[in-house]
Structure 1
């Protein structure tokens, strides 16, 4: 019974879990931004490539 009490009162893993949650939220936000703006970036780079190709030779 004492082992269970010690396990429940141990707070050392809480920080690791908090950092994991923060990292997952950052990942989700970055993924959402890439999905939302991916097509726009593709079009922009295609436009730049089309303009630079004749200039390079």
Structure 2
């Protein structure tokens, strides 16, 4: 699954990328992973859950 997705980091990420998450969207779910462990676990969220999370984090 992870290989077929187009992953991206926030524009606010440091150039070193040492503490980042990557996000991908496949039209059904939003996928989140640790940028340092790209073959590791992936958190899959419904788009509404992702919107709620990012809205809460931004406060």
Comparing both structures, which one devotes a greater share of its residues to helix?
1
Comparing both structures, which one devotes a greater share of its residues to strand?
2
TM over 0.5: no
Q: TM-score, normalised by structure 2?
A: 0.25
Higher relative contact order (CA 8 A, sep 6+): 2
Instruction: Return the index of the structure with the highest Cα Rg.
Output: 1
Q: TM-score, normalised by structure 1?
A: 0.25
